[in-house]
Every structure is written in structure tokens, then in C-alpha cells.
Amino acid sequence: MQTASTEHCSRGHPRAKVLVSPVECGVSTLKYQESSSTVARQRGGLAAANANLKAVKIATAKWKRRSLSEMLETQSAPVPSHEVSESPRNWYAVHTRPSRERRTADHFSYHGLENFMPHYRVVRRWKNRCTRASDIPLFPGYLFVRIAPAERIRVLEVPSVISIVGRGREPLPLPEFEIESLRAGLHLRHAEPHPHLVVGQRARIRGGALAGMEGVMVRKSNSLRVVLTLDLIMQSVSVEVDGDELEPLCGVTSTNRIWDEAI
């Protein structure tokens, strides 16, 4: 059986009849339903894929934001705050990435960690005859921080920190007297980096800034200097002194001639 449908033109005159088979109507309807369901399934699959991708991105971002402290907390129990405050604080040497000493010190200061980065001033002269003074770290790649043992995580989680200097995995504290003497008197003397020394005539500064510090005496041009060494980080610094501010120590070596010339 076929269905006749009559169409009219704009003037109302009847047009030719179009015979449409019910089978054809059913097939067209079925094809339309199938295409609609296919589009719906594709859209649903695309939405699910986008949701999964978004979930993966969120999980990846959370994993990247995990700090060292969060990872360590899963392996050890948290330290009560009263134990941190009651633990004695000591000075430790912190090894940093190259040219990151000042940024690391600023990071420590921002988070309330007492730190000390010795520096000396260098005046550079450019080709246009302009001069510029810059503060350069006295111990390249190192600075000092005063913390309790339980606060080591706060230091190690800083991205520019490589390690806390020590023996193996155990950080070793520095003598309190050495660091406090450097903090109090280093800026009062002319200091500059010096190659690490382990032998030579040893002397003690007996007066003025850095009094009580011991080092190796050397002569540079017309000035007398004492090389102070921090053996833990194998770094040395030479400070300019006068001959009457020094006293010799035991262990006289072949460099006595330098001492005699200084006196």
C-alpha cells in the first residue's frame, strides 16, 4: 500500500501527486534513529575521554606539587612542634647549586630560617670606564643555616639545595665559635677567597675583629694575611691583618721565614 500526498504551489494549484511507500518511510525513520544514536554514542565517548584526560592532568599536577616533606612524611612519623622548639640549634653548611647562594639565603630568610652567607665586595671596571661594585659569595656554592635536627627537611626541600654537608647521610654541625666570629668580624676586615691550605705556619689572631680565629699565615704583595679554613667544606678565606695582631702557634714549619719578615 502506498500513501499519496498532494502538494500545492504558491498560487494554490495542485501539483503532481507523490507516492511514498510505508516501507520507505520506515527505512528512513530507522536510518535517522540509527544515525542519531551513533552521534549520541560518539558524543558520550568523547565526553568520557575528555573527563578521563582531565582527571589524569589533575592527578599529574597534584603529584608534581608534592614536596619533599610530604614524601618523607609517608615514611616517618611527624615530629611534634614542641620537640622542634626544644631541640638545640646548630650551624650547618649547606651545599647549593652554582650561583644560587643568594637565592637560597633569601628563601631561608622568607621561611624564618636563620642563615649566614659570607660575601666580599668586588669593584669591576667596564670598557666605558664605569665602575660597578658587586657582593660575591665568599664560599662559592656554600652558605650556613642554623637549625634543629628535626628541621633538616625544611632545608632539603628548597630546590636549589643539594645537600647538608656532613659524614655520609649524617649532617655535621659547625663550631659555634667559628661561625659567630665570622658573622661579627668578617665585615671589619678585607677578605677574599683563597685556595684551600692544610700546611704552613699557623697563627692566631689575638686582637681586633676575628680575635681567637686560627689560620695559616701567608704574604700577598706588601700585606700579611691569615688564611682561615673551614675543613668541613674544604673552603678557605684570607683576611688582611697586621703583624702585631698575630701570635704563632705550635708546629713551626719551613715557613718561619715569613713570620720573621712579618715581625
Q: What is the per-residue pLDDT for 259?
A: 38
Q: What is the CATH number of domain 67-79+86-174?
A: 3.30.70.940
Beta bridge partners of 79: none
Closest CA to 145 of 170, 112, 192, 191: 112
The three grid cell numbers given for residue 103, joined into one nine-digit string: 637565592
Q: What is the CATH number of domain 188-263?
A: 2.30.30
Q: What is the per-residue pLDDT for 68?
A: 46
Closest CA to 68 of 147, 159, 168: 159
Residues 12 and 256: their CA atoms lie apart, in Å, by 129
Counting as low any pLDDT under 70, the low residues of the chain are 1-42, 44-45, 59-86, 197-200, 250-263
Q: What is the per-residue pLDDT for 256?
A: 42
Residues 198 and 215: their CA atoms lie apart, in Å, by 9
Closest CA to 189 of 248, 120, 263: 120
Q: What is the per-residue pLDDT for 123?
A: 83
Q: What is the per-residue pLDDT for 76?
A: 39
